[in-house]
């Protein structure tokens, strides 16, 4: 069964809503700030996780292989680094709750008052 993956930021963040394109740009390293000018720090779930695959398919419209190729090229040309990875949804939720600049994605069932859904 597919998870219902949602994009979240810290409850402390001033960001309340982001478009699919804005989220995609942040996770592809094209923009490094939220619309209000605050730094945006994307955090990925572990490579191969169902949530990560669903997020990139839905939001960025790229497969895991396409994302690897994309980041290989960006890193090679010195234009950026991929988002940091965390081991699990629980760790990701914790990191985002603590950091108002962080953005990530978790299963909707894990949303609590430390994070808020922006898409």
Give the pLDDT confidence score for residue 25 in this predicted structure.
97
CATH 3.40.190.10 holds for 5-117: yes
Percent of the chain with pLDDT over 90: 97
Helical residues (DSSP H) of the chain, grouped into ranges: 20-27, 50-55, 64-76, 89-98
CB 86 within 8 A of CB 42: no
CB 20 within 8 A of CB 59: yes
Look over the chain and give the mean of its residue pLDDT values, rounded to a whole number: 95
Q: What is the pLDDT of residues 58-86, one digit of tens each?
A: 999 999 999 999 999 999 999 999 999 99
Q: How many whole angstroms separate alpha carbon 24 and alpha carbon 13?
A: 18
Domain-by-domain residue ranges, the chain? 5-117
Q: How many whole angstroms separate alpha carbon 54 and alpha carbon 44?
A: 12
Report whether pLDDT(2) > 80: no
pTM comes to: 0.94
């Amino acid at each position: 069964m597919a998870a219902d993956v949602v994009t979240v930021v810290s409850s402390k963040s001033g960001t309340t809503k982001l478009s699919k394109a804005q989220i995609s740009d942040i996770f592809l390293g094209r923009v490094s700030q939220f619309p209000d000018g605050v730094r945006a720090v994307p955090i990925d779930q572990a490579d191969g996780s169902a949530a990560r695959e669903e997020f990139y398919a839905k939001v960025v419209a790229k497969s895991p292989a396409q994302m690897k190729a994309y980041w290989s090229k960006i890193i090679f040309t010195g234009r950026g680094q991929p988002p940091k990875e965390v081991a699990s949804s629980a760790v990701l939720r914790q990191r985002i709750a603590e950091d108002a600049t962080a953005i990530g994605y978790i299963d909707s069932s894990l949303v609590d008052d430390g994070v808020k859904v922006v898409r």
